[in-house]
Structure 1
């Protein structure tokens, strides 16, 4: 029987690429996002291309009971999830006091609460069936404090540490847990913010190589992967410096997202985060 992968934030970019590559590997897929039309287009494409079942599940992950609803719908359709990809997410950018608090709240609901809740809902079934896997999408922002991306960076640090902890709990019980920490990825983030200076850590890549690196790392039962030489070096070296110094150095880099007037370069204060899905896909 074919295994089933559930992917959040699956209506575009990184999430859609996970759907494509997992379907190419023979997985049936359950695609979760807020944008039904875009999800349907992805499902039709990957189903036709790879001869797998592609299920569409429309859900706003910022809602408090989102994970319960997703799990209930999966069960109602008679599906069992063997691979959970917690990809959905978005970010805010700018001076903390100028960012809408409600938007930061929704960001945490999607990036942290829904991720943990979905893992709670679906991991026990993997254990009962004797195996499975969880992929959590974090960011290279997880390895240091991120001024002007404060809530986003802190959320991704949570995702990284949560994933590493779960890996130790379940590595001898048949469930693999991988945390993906990409650098800047070509998403709608940079168009929305109005400046590519938000790619503060260097050149951007496309979703394809990032997902391939993640699936290779999952095959090898790695704890985390930071695709690209620069990201790998940063992941290993940055946490070994004094935290206050790292925060000060990070601010010198991330302040480039501010305009000369001291406000974000783009018009919106809430933007899709590099390496994650757009808000339409994420929530």
Structure 2
């Protein structure tokens, strides 16, 4: 058994791989890749094959989000969001699934968001993309569960990570009440338990579960108006 870490920053990956091997005695390989590159998914899987490994567990966790209005954002930035969080997620799953089916075992966790369960709001493509990930995961789980492959959409809310630093929204996020936040390790544990048990959707944390349940009965037209009222880019 081995672990393959994939991200853009090799130095960070190597340091993490060293720590994981020391702490858990697990083989840990590193692949540097930028998922905004359409060739990245094929290259990643080719490298995994070269390493002599099978993909029994796939975690699609890469993400980014724009910080401006749709019409004011260069399309290349929007295309990068689509490539990283939609196209790469779909292609990596498509490349991994045949082997999982053949071996009769597989686990796929696709990181969606609590936003996918909320009324639509102006967050550029983020909410739309995460809704796609949610629906894709459920459809794949229906198709693949008879073959021993479980797929779960993990839908976290506010989680302590580097996401807000990278996106430049740290100051705004720091103003949110502490009870809304979760630690990353708690989200990971709940997400893994969900996919292992065969749950197609996981909303981690009590506050997030209550929030998701509260908005579920909202009619589409009410949700749309609510989303419009929360639009930070309206004139």
Q: Which runs of 4+ in 1 moved over 4 A?
A: 197-202
| CA separation of 1:249 and 1:118: change in aligned 2, threshold 3 A | same
List runs of 5+ in structure 2 lacking aligned partners.
none
Q: Does the 8 A contact of 1:226 with 1:232 survive in 2? A: yes
Please name the residue that 2:98 is paired with: 124
Say which SS state the counterpart of residue 117 (structure 1) adopts. Answer: helix
Indicate yes or no: 2:18 matched with 1:82.
no
* Separation in structure 2 between the aligned mates of residue 194 and residue 251 of structure 1, nearest angstrom: 24
Q: Quick one: which of 226, 229, 233 aligns to 1:249?
A: 226
Q: Using the TM superposition, give the Cα deviation of residue 209 of structure 1 relative to its aligned residue in structure 2, in angstroms.
A: 0.6
TM-score (norm 1): 0.76
Q: Does the 8 A contact of 1:145 with 1:250 survive in 2? A: yes
| CA separation of 1:199 and 1:169: change in aligned 2, threshold 3 A | farther
How many residues of Structure 1 are paired with residues of Structure 2 in the alignment? Answer: 232
What is the root-mean-square deviation of aligned Cα atoms in Å?
A: 2.1
Deviations 1:42-92 (A, max 9, x none): 111111110000000011111112111111111111110110001111111
Q: Using the TM superposition, give the Cα deviation of residue 240 of structure 1 relative to its aligned residue in structure 2, in angstroms.
A: 3.0
Please name the residue that 2:142 is paired with: 168
* Separation in structure 1 between the aligned mates of residue 122 and residue 67 of structure 2, nearest angstrom: 6
Say which SS state the counterpart of residue 222 (structure 1) adopts. Answer: coil
TM-score (norm 2): 0.91
Please name the residue that 2:186 is paired with: 209
Say which SS state the counterpart of residue 195 (structure 1) adopts. Answer: helix
Q: Using the TM superposition, give the Cα deviation of residue 220 of structure 1 relative to its aligned residue in structure 2, in angstroms.
A: 1.7
* Structure with bigger RCO (C-alpha 8 Å, 6+ apart): 1
Q: Does the 8 A contact of 2:150 with 2:198 survive in 1? A: yes
Deviations 1:245-273 (A, max 9, x none): 21322343463xx7xxx79xxxxxxxxxx
